[in-house]
Structure formats: C-alpha cells, structure tokens
Amino acid sequence: MFDVYITKAAKYLPNDPVSNDEMETYLGLINDTASKARRIILRNNKITTRYYAVDKNGKSTHTNAELAKNAIVQLFDKNFTDQDLEVLSCGTSSPDIIAPSHAAMVHGLLKNKSVELNSSMGICCSGMNALKYGFLSIKAGNSKNAICTGSEKVSTWLSAQKYNNEIINLKNLEEQPIIAFKKDFLRWMLSDGAGAFLLENKPNGEISLKIEWMESYSYAFELETCMYAGGDKLENGEIKPWSDFTPEQWLNESIFAVKQDVKLLDEFILPKGVQSMSEAMSKNNITADQIDYFLPHVSSNFFVDGLKKGLSEKGIVITDEKWFMNLLTVGNIGSASIYVAVEELMNSGKLKKGDRILLSVPESGRFSFAYAYLTVC
C-alpha cells in the first residue's frame, strides 16, 4: 500500500462576489415579489458574499464542467503537466446534463489525453467520494497520481423563472402564490464554484498533506430523504421520480427544483453528524487533542454552536481557534466547499509540518457523512 498526498490545491470562484442585497438581482423575483424568507435565512446562515456563474440578467457565464476545468488547469505546471495525469475523479450534485457523466464532460474540456474517469454523484459528500476514489487508486498502486474535484453550478437551478409556472398554476387555483419554504429556503443558501486537488504518491513542494485515512457513513437505511431534486416527496416519505410525472407537472410543480425537508434537517443533521464523527475518530484512535485544524463543511452558521455542543457532550472538545471556516465569504458551494476551504488553509501560511487536519462533510440528502484526516508534511 502506498502513501497518498495532496500536493496542490486550487479553486475557481466565478465572476465577482455577490452581496446579500444583490442576490435577487441575479436569481430574480418569484411572482415579482421579494422573498419573505430571504432575510431570516441569511440572518441565520451569516453568509455575506457568494459567487454565481451567471450575470445580472441570469445568463450563464460558465457551465459546471467549465468551473471544474478552470480549477483543474491551475494544478498544472512544468513539473506536472496535463500529459502526466492518470486519474480524473469529479464530484458534483448539479451536473450540467444527466448523461454523459460529469467527469467525462470535464475531461472533454481538458483535451489532454486518455485518463481513467470517475464521477461521484450525490450532494455535498460527492466531492469527498471523488477524493476517496483518487485516494484509494493511488494507495492500491493502481495509479501514481489523480486529480479530484468538487464543483457546483446551482444558480440557474434557483432562478425565479424555474418557478413561474408553479406560481401561475397557484394563481389559477386561487391559492396563495407563495413558493413552499422547502424550495425557497435553498435559494438563499447555495452558490457556485469549484475546487481541485492534485494527489500524488509522494510529497511535493513546500507543503503536502498526507491523507492518513478517510471514512464515510450513510443513514439512508433508517432515515427518509431530506434534500432532493428531480422528484417530489409523497406523504409516506417516498420520492416519486421525475420520470413518473408528466412534462406539464415538471413545470407546474417545479419538479426539478432543489428542495429540503427543514424539519428532518433540524432533527437529524447534528445528532448523526456527532455520532459518525465520534465513530470515525474512535475507529482510527484519534482524540480532539490530535486535531490542530478542524474544517467542518456546514450549510449554515446556524449549526455551528449546536455542533460544538454535540461534540462536547461526546467528549470531543475542539477549541474555537482550531476551527477553520470560510462559509461567510464564499457561501455554501456544496461538494466544492471542502476543497475551497483546504485550498485557503494550504495557502494561508498558517500550516507547519506535523499539523493535523480533520475534514468533516455532512450531506442532508439522506444523511451521509464523510471524514478525512490529514498530516502536514
């Protein structure tokens, strides 16, 4: 078995940062009315700026694949060119198309040479799953290097025009023309961007991060779906897929809109997160004092105090100065968030050899959690 190192990290955040007051300029007004939920949600998540791959007219400036490609090309230099790449592993929850795979579309933009591809689909954990594929490939000796990515392009999924038919339908039925909170909620939470890691079987450069271990957990066997797109939730908790709806329903009921069951999120995201992190640390025999930097991906600052409290009750006390987060300035970029945070930490000048880093990524889709433990070399 071979050691695996993150030898380089890069990010690509499209266009200029978008302030809270500018958001509806980019995403649009549903029913020509400002969202009543927006201010409450932004007050809780504490995000001040985020990035969108659209202009103020809602026109796309980049595809998801282009965001990933723009992060990847920053990893190439004279010592590692695009011709040296062996494995390309890409994670996303917002692919540009259903098929071919996201990784294939990214590879098509690179135009380098034949490589092994892996696409990880899901929500936030898809980026960590992509990382694990590259990690295991190198560890097993199947390859000497890999580039892994997390990227999202959700702005066009959240644009007001995607909900207009539903509003018209509600008006025709003489119902109150307000989009359900489960749909409106995420319009003010998510943003666009991409991050990429170069993985190699030996350290390289001034700073490399050795991946000591990775662990993943799913609670889909006991919990129903919480966050979803391309379907709708039935009263019994099951998801009816988009292909079982008529084309008219796709529009009239915003079937492709991203939705989240906020009650389920509030009930399970922290307890299951604490449970899985405790199990991952116990399995690998590490304690809180063996963590110098804790990088938790959280969808909203609202969850930070609850996570600290839950971990503390399990005997995992990670003091505030060890927490490293950039949610407030880059927003919630889903699968790309952890990549962008690691890139910022690697280039911050704070790291010194021997420092230990714990990455934590939750996913509310059906409650999955992924962890990685790194050592600075």
Look-up: residue for tokens 């897929």?
Answer: 241
C-alpha to C-alpha distances, 369 to 6, 132, 233, 296, 350, nearest whole angstrom: 21, 13, 22, 11, 27
DSSP secondary structure code for residue 91 in this structure: E
DSSP secondary structure code for residue 293 in this structure: E
Write down the domain spans for the chain: 5-206, 212-376
Task: Work out the pLDDT band at 321, boundaries 50, 70, 90.
Answer: very high
pLDDT in tens, 16-57: 999 999 999 999 887 777 887 888 889 889 999 999 999 999
Rounded Cα distance between 51 and 155, Å, is 9
What percent of the chain shows pLDDT beyond 90?
82
Residues 6+ apart with CB under 8 A from 143: 86, 87, 116, 137
Pick 40 or 307 by higher pLDDT: 307
What pLDDT score was predicted for residue 35? 82
Q: Give the H/E segment covering residue 196.
A: strand 193-200
Q: Are 318 and 291 in contact (CB under 8 A)?
A: yes
**What angle, 0 to 180 degrees and rounded to 10, lies between the N-to-C axes of helices 102-110 and 64-72?**
50
**What angle, 0 to 180 degrees and rounded to 10, lies between the N-to-C axes of helices 125-139 and 337-346?**
60
Question: One fold for both 5-206 and 212-376?
Answer: yes
Rounded Cα distance between 23 and 181, Å, is 17
Residue range 316-339: mean pLDDT, rounded: 97
What percent of the chain shows pLDDT beyond 70?
95
CA-based nearest residue to 280, from 358, 199, 336, 210: 358
Range of weakest confidence among 67-76, 135-144, 182-191, 229-238: 182-191
What pLDDT score was predicted for residue 179? 58
Rounded Cα distance between 333 and 330, Å, is 8
Pick 167 or 4 by higher pLDDT: 4
Rounded Cα distance between 12 and 152, Å, is 11
pLDDT in tens, 272-281: 999 999 999 9
What pLDDT score was predicted for residue 249? 93
Task: Work out the pLDDT band at 83, boundaries 50, 70, 90.
Answer: very high
Task: Work out the pLDDT band at 350, boundaries 50, 70, 90.
Answer: very high
Range of weakest confidence among 97-106, 192-201, 245-254, 311-320: 245-254
Chain-centroid distance, C-alpha 79: 30
Domain 5-206 has CATH 3.40.47.10: yes
Q: Are 56 and 23 in contact (CB under 8 A)?
A: no
Domain 212-376 class, CATH top level: alpha beta
Q: In the chain, what is the straight-line distance between the N-terminal and C-terminal CA atoms, in Å?
A: 19
